[in-house]
Amino acid sequence: MQKIRKVIIPAAGSGTRMLPATKAQPKEMLPIINKPVIQYVVEEAVASGIEEVIIVTGSNKRAIEDHFDYNYELQNQLKQQGKIKELKEIKKIADMAKFIYVRQKGPYGNGTPVMNCEHIIGDEPFAVLWADDLMMSKKPRLKQLIEAYNNYGGPVLTAIKTDKEGTSKYGIIDGKKMENNIIKVDDVIEKPGPDKAPSLFATVGGYILTPDIFPILRKTKLGKGNELWLPDAISALSKKRDIYACLVEGSWYDAGSPINLLKTNIEFALKDKNISKEFKKYLRNLKI
């Protein structure tokens, strides 16, 4: 069984849901407390054993590359000021993994950035994480997916338990529940609604994929919005091999819209050992 060493993180989107904040900065660099969203995603990948982080970017995403690089001027300044803790913290960001950057080319859609990385992935299995999609858990979400892949040997999707309302928001899994929080996937139905939902298991960001996805992506027709959709290719792949979903343990956060970014900030702040006490005190004093 080949080790999962690489993760693709698509980060080329324009972030229109977050305008005007994203007019001149990448949405992936918007902060949760004092770290950009994408750093949490990279940290999850590294904590799961990932060695190479492939970030697919666009023309206005230079700040992402700068963030995961050394800043010698800032490092020297911190050293001279005796701020050794801060110095180690910013240096660690660049040292976490080997970073590779790819410019997105091709049609709009979340399948394109994956297709753009075929020459880097080669014949290895790999992970995909969205840059504004977070999971707070004792065991990293991606590590849970990798363990499922190692046990079953096929592509693995992230699954969470949802409710009837969620069946109108997410792709819903049609499949058979197996042992150890694993579902054998027959199909994923996009936003079927409560009357047509085959289950209450929803798919969200986070995948382990195998390289046989690439020829399928190249043949996949453009779908909704004239975009190339990764789920369409995964659905086609499921007709050729077994695909699984891992019902992950943890809390899932979509930080890709203003209200969800705000909610994520609040929940992360309430669990942050450095600021939670003061923040809880502030919240209790609010007259809502």
Q: How far apart are CA 19 and CA 164, in angstroms?
A: 31
The yes-or-no verdict on residue 1 having pLDDT over 80 is: no
Whether residue 227 has pLDDT greater than 90: no
pLDDT in tens, 5-54: 999 999 998 888 889 988 889 999 999 999 999 999 999 999 999 999 99
Contacts for 162 with CB less than 8 Å, ≥ 6 apart: 169, 170, 172, 200, 201, 202
pLDDT in the model for residue 9: 97
- Mean pLDDT value of segment 108-122: 93
Q: pLDDT value at position 140? A: 95
Contact predicate 40/132, CB 8 Å: no
Domains in the chain, start-ordered, CATH in brackets? 6-284 (3.90.550.10)
> What confidence score (pLDDT) does residue 15 get?
83
For residue range 161-211, what is the model confidence (pLDDT) as tens digits?
998 888 888 888 888 888 879 999 988 887 888 888 888 899 988 999 999
First to last CA, the chain: 55
What is the reported pLDDT for 284? 92
Amino acid at 165: E
The predicted pLDDT at position 125 comes to: 96
Q: Answer yes or no: are the C-beta atoms of 236 and 216 closer than 8 Å.
A: yes
